[in-house]
């Protein structure tokens, strides 16, 4: 069965196919109840509806496209690989900077992006080749669904990236020792509190820089 599923995935099929056959709500209900069992601040029914539409809405849903077109089954310790790896594509991008934000417990390995950053800096120093500046930021107490696992930590990562890219690289934000932790006592344990209370505390605080 596993071999059949992986073979279908490589051929362009995805779980979204089952969702379109009428199993989507059941699949999403099970996923949300297990994956976000400890997340109390978000309405589970709305999250389920959002994910279901992402998986199954339209002829070619966003989730379906990403899963079957952009990814292939991974190997040992990796859930999935890119069909066209970023390590080959990023050096050709004509942009000044790339911010890569990972969850502390993300199934995607942040060390791969750090290794690419080191490689590009070496190429730039030795051959004078232009390449984007890469910054890698991790969000504490989060897995792959960062805005849900630690919403204010994700906001902190984005703000740090916008305010000071060099200082933000290699940091882990959104924990009890970060800017959010200093503004909201007990964070991230207080994620179970009303989100508007946490957001108000974050937005009303004076800027640090």
More confidently predicted of 191 and 155: 155
| pLDDT beyond 90 at 101 | yes
Torsional class of 141: left (φ above 0), alpha (ψ -120 to 50), beta (otherwise): left
Q: How far is CA 154 from CA 2, 27, 91, 160, 175, in A?
A: 34, 27, 26, 10, 11
Can you give the pTM of this predicted structure? 0.72
Choose the most confident range, by mean pLDDT, from 72-76, 121-125, 139-143.
Answer: 139-143
Asked whether the beta carbons of 138 and 185 are under 8 A apart, the reply is no
- Mean pLDDT value of segment 194-209: 47
Position 105 scores a pLDDT of 92
Segment 113-122, tens digit of pLDDT: 999 999 888 8
* pLDDT value of position 11: 78
| Least confidently predicted of 129-133, 163-167, 185-189 | 185-189
Q: How far is CA 209 from CA 65, 179, 205, in A?
A: 40, 11, 12
Q: Average model confidence (pLDDT) for the chain?
A: 77
pLDDT, one tens digit per residue, over 126-151 is 877 788 889 999 999 899 989 988 88
């Amino acid at each position: 069965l596993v071999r059949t599923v992986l073979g279908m995935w490589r051929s362009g099929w995805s779980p979204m196919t089952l969702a379109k056959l009428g199993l989507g709500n059941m699949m999403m209900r099970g996923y949300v109840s297990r994956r976000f069992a400890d997340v109390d601040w978000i309405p589970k029914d709305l999250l389920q509806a959002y994910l279901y539409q992402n998986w199954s809405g339209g002829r070619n849903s966003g989730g379906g496209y990403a899963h079957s077109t952009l990814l292939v089954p991974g190997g040992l310790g990796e859930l999935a690989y890119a069909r066209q790896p970023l390590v080959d594509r990023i050096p050709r991008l004509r942009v000044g900077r790339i911010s890569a934000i990972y969850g502390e417990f993300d199934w995607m390995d942040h060390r791969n992006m750090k290794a690419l950053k080191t490689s590009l800096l070496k190429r730039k120093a030795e051959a004078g080749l232009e390449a984007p500046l890469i910054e890698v930021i991790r969000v504490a107490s989060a897995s792959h669904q960062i805005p849900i696992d630690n919403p204010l930590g994700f906001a902190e990562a984005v703000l740090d990236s916008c305010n000071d890219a060099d200082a933000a690289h290699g940091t882990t934000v959104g924990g009890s020792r970060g800017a959010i932790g200093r503004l909201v006592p007990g964070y991230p344990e207080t994620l179970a509190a009303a989100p508007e209370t946490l957001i108000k505390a974050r937005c009303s605080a004076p800027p640090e820089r």
